[in-house]
Amino acid sequence: MDGPAPPDSSVEPPAASAGQGAPWLESLRRAYGLGDSARAEPLRPDAWSISASDGSRYVMRRFRGRAAADFETGLWAYLRRGCLPPPDLIPTGFGAPYVRQDGECFGLTCEAGGYGFDRGDPRHVEAAAVVLARYHRLALEYAGPLRLACLPYPPAAAGGLRARVASALALIGPHLQTAEYLRLERLLAGIDCELAKCHEVLAEVYARTPRILIHGNFGPEALSFDGSGRAVRLDDFSRASLDVASVDVAGAISRLCVRDGPLDAQAPRRLAGERVRLFLDAYLGERHPGAEAGGTLPAFLAIAWLAEALRGLGAALESRAADPSLLVRAIDDAGQRAAGLKAYLEALDGFNS
């Protein structure tokens, strides 16, 4: 494999202007023959829906520099040769895979079509698992350019979260009565204990498991299905990077296998056991060499859960000159959210060994 080639992230995204006035749209009209009345409507910070003059519809994607453009378009071509359905890249009128404009790169793809992910449809859950397993199998043989991890490896993330807990405890001490301090100390100690267990498991997994090119953002937005429930598009490779396959599997479960209903602080998300089992059975049925056993998944899911629980505490620490009561409330909120971890992981009980 070639050495890691991190993307150029020094450029700022263009304004996601709608309509005909996007500053980069005129050159893209010419490069792709979209017509003078082509319009761009923002989909997300790095993608726009394009309506051509003739009524055709496309998606324009922004890559963070030339290295990222070469990486993603090359990965799409590799996956297509392996019979996976990545985005359909449309070359420019000059045969180039993408356009360079003001130091940035833009590629045009066909609109996905089909249907979005429906977590209540078991065909979608199963098809998603199969696609992810096949992607991982192809990733083992991928020999193109690589990209460094977009996020800290989970063992490092666990260590960082433990440091956040320790900082919070040190900062609140001088401002609290003894009883209140001891209450918060016990609460933070419980969170730190969970983080320590995660760190131990994850460090052992990373010591013995080879890295592959994971998808990095496998979830509902990355998938499209036809009327029979077959996956017809795998998309959104913006976070594809070297990591262990279990990061993808845990991320997919947390996004695809939650119970129906509102997702908020008052009604914390819970995994749906039957969906988790359907997903894991389908994934392991397509098992690839080097795949992690289901027993390691609780640690990957737990570290993500705890990171979300401590998000508010991290924000409070960054503004620690503020009223200490804000920090106390953030700790209480983190404790309340972290307390749901055991119930969250109940759906994995059958895969813990």
Residue at a domain's end among 110, 132, 163: 110
**Residue 116 within a domain:** no
Q: Which residue has the higher pLDDT, 19 or 53?
A: 53
The string of pLDDT tens digits covering residues 97-155 is 999 888 889 999 998 888 999 999 999 999 999 999 999 999 988 988 876 666 678 88
Q: What is the mean pLDDT of residues 299-326?
A: 83
Q: What is the mean pLDDT of residues 286-290?
A: 66
Percent of the chain with pLDDT over 70: 85
Shared domain for 211 and 295, answered yes or no, is yes
Q: What is the residue range of 298's domain?
A: 122-351
Q: For residue 18, what pLDDT is reported?
A: 43
Number of domains making up the chain: 2
Specify the CATH number for the domain of residue 61: 3.30.200.20
Banded pLDDT at 169 (limits 50, 70, 90): confident
Q: What would the DSSP string read from start to end of 86-129?
A: ---EE--TTS-SSEEETTEEEEEEE---SB---TT-HHHHHHHH
Please count the other Cβ atoms lying within 10 Å of the Cβ belonging to residue 339: 14
Shared domain for 137 and 277, answered yes or no, is yes
Shared domain for 285 and 178, answered yes or no, is yes
Shared domain for 203 and 329, answered yes or no, is yes
Q: For residue 350, what pLDDT is reported?
A: 60
The string of pLDDT tens digits covering residues 329-343 is 899 999 988 888 888
**Residue 19 within a domain:** no
In this model, does residue 158 exceed pLDDT 50? yes
In this model, does residue 74 exceed pLDDT 90? yes
CA Rg value for the chain: 23
Q: For residue 6, what pLDDT is reported?
A: 34
In this model, does residue 7 exceed pLDDT 50? no
Q: For residue 288, what pLDDT is reported?
A: 62
Q: What is the mean pLDDT of residues 205-221?
A: 91
Shared domain for 80 and 159, answered yes or no, is no
In this model, does residue 314 exceed pLDDT 90? no
Q: For residue 317, what pLDDT is reported?
A: 84
C-alpha dihedral, 194 to 195 to 197 to 203, nearest 10°: 160
Shared domain for 95 and 172, answered yes or no, is no
**Residue 3 within a domain:** no
**Residue 288 within a domain:** yes
Banded pLDDT at 351 (limits 50, 70, 90): low
Place of tokens 């070297």: 242
In this model, does residue 219 exceed pLDDT 70? yes
DSSP E strand stretches across 139-277: 212-214, 223-225, 231-234, 241-243
Percent of the chain with pLDDT over 90: 48
Q: For residue 194, what pLDDT is reported?
A: 93
Q: For residue 193, what pLDDT is reported?
A: 94
Shared domain for 217 and 94, answered yes or no, is no
Q: For residue 148, what pLDDT is reported?
A: 65
Specify the CATH number for the domain of residue 169: 3.90.1200
Q: What is the mean pLDDT of residues 289-301?
A: 71
**Residue 13 within a domain:** no
Shared domain for 186 and 332, answered yes or no, is yes
Average model confidence (pLDDT) across the chain = 84
Q: For residue 263, what pLDDT is reported?
A: 52
Shared domain for 226 and 160, answered yes or no, is yes
Shared domain for 31 and 90, answered yes or no, is yes
**Residue 9 within a domain:** no
Q: Which among 334, 331, 328 has a CA at the least distance from the CA of 265?
A: 334
In this model, does residue 345 exceed pLDDT 70? yes
CA–CA dist 56, 258 (Å, integer):
36
CA–CA dist 271, 278 (Å, integer):
12
User: Which pair of tokens denotes residue 81?
Assistant: 């040769």
Q: What is the mean pLDDT of residues 225-238?
A: 93
Banded pLDDT at 320 (limits 50, 70, 90): low
**Residue 117 within a domain:** no
Q: For residue 9, what pLDDT is reported?
A: 32
Residue at a domain's end among 70, 86, 110: 110
**Residue 1 within a domain:** no
Shared domain for 190 and 287, answered yes or no, is yes
Shared domain for 181 and 260, answered yes or no, is yes
Residue at a domain's end among 110, 132, 149: 110
In this model, does residue 23 exceed pLDDT 80? no
pTM equals: 0.84
